[in-house]
Chains A and B, each alone.
Chain A
């Protein structure tokens, strides 16, 4: 079988630091939307129960890494806003911080054209219109948890995939203490 062009050459040259994509100090990779949809479909087919929890937790870890992009700041709200900007810059979608009370804490975000809502239209895994941005809510919870030093949770209260105007997120402490 013919070797795909250029593969052998790539294998001989390990990537230098400059070739690697990083988020904060963590190595990162880019997935195309179609690759993400494929991954989602496979998980849905093999273990549909894990779609919500799995993508939320995956996002939570990404959020912790993304929070490091903002660097150290004496102003946690500024750091949170910078991290959210990093989410936007990374291509996840258009997002804005609507309100940010870190004392509560209670944070509200509003997004449009988020990648999961877009992917949901193509993946065909959902039988009805619903809130689908589990990875994104995990990211926002991870960002906020890292900056606050305690775990908080993010819920998507409206979703464009459900036919609403925007995807709106609320970050609050866990009820009942979390686990």
Chain B
């Protein structure tokens, strides 16, 4: 990470605490040391992080670490499963040696099934997640009882529910939703699968997020490797160097030296 980006991250709107409320909430970390080292000093709880990456690159693993971090520091956490049933995330967390049952019973970890539709066994499920009004309303309904706590929200992946909709509708929804979540000081991690939305739509959406993380594969002499790049697009700044990482089933995203 360049010093310039570190400075940008620590002072940028949406990333730096700019109100008394945000100062009281303290600083947040993502839970993956390779990223937290890049965000020295942490980020504000009103931050929205856009994670863009290929299928299988590690977006859901990062989501598990992000939620684990939240549970350790005492946040209320919400996971919206769009690509697989929530049990897959429970299993990811179990691999990290995180038992979700205790947190679910305590109401500090909430799983929402936006994948199984009519066949869900979950207490909370969205019948038609592609109906953005319904999704928006449901998200608000889930978050309302958690007010008073610091909240983390993961939608994995939000591109799945946006995929077939018109660009104008997607951008309006994206901006309105992020504005609402930001004003409520919800720390958001939205996963996007590369290639599901067209370039212009993605370009429009990225401007709504204060923090962007790109995960990808690099095919080189050493074989296929995973890379990450953290950036803040509003200021036009992106970490110059791509960092290599691997996935460890018990440790999650691990930076390679």
Give the interface of A toward B (CB within 8 A): 47-50, 52-53, 56-57, 127-132, 138, 152-155, 157, 162, 170, 172-179
A-B contact count (CB 8 A): 90
Choose among A127, A138, A153 the residue that contacts B94 (Cβ–Cβ < 8 A). A153
From DSSP, what is the main secondary structure of chain A's interface residues?
Answer: mixed
Q: Which residues of B contact A178 (CB under 8 A)?
A: 94
A162 pairs with B74, CB closer than 8 A: yes
Is the Cβ of B251 less than 8 Å from the Cβ of A49?
yes
Interface size of B by CB at 8 A reads 38
* CB-contact partner of A130 in B73, B94, B102, B254, under 8 A: B73
Given A131-B74, A175-B99, list of 15 further CB < 8 A pairs?
A: A49-B251, A49-B252, A49-B253, A53-B96, A53-B97, A127-B36, A130-B74, A131-B71, A132-B72, A153-B99, A154-B99, A172-B101, A175-B101, A179-B91, A179-B95
Contact A176 B27 (CB under 8 A): no
Residue of B nearest to A164 (CB): B74
Contact (A174, B106) CB under 8 Å given A53-B251, A162-B74? no
A residues in contact with B91, CB < 8 Å: 176-177, 179
> Contact check: which of A57, A127, A153 meets B29 at CB < 8 Å?
A127
Q: A162–B72 Cα gap in the complex (Å)?
A: 9
Is there a chain A Cβ closer than 8 Å to B90's Cβ? yes
A44 and chain B: residue at smallest CB distance? B33
A179 to B29, CA, bound (A): 27
* Distance from B29 Cβ to chain A, minimum over Cβ atoms (Å): 6
Knowing A172-B102, A175-B104, A177-B91, the reply to whether A127 touches B97 (Cβ < 8 A) is no
- Residues on A with C-beta less than 8 A from B88 are 176
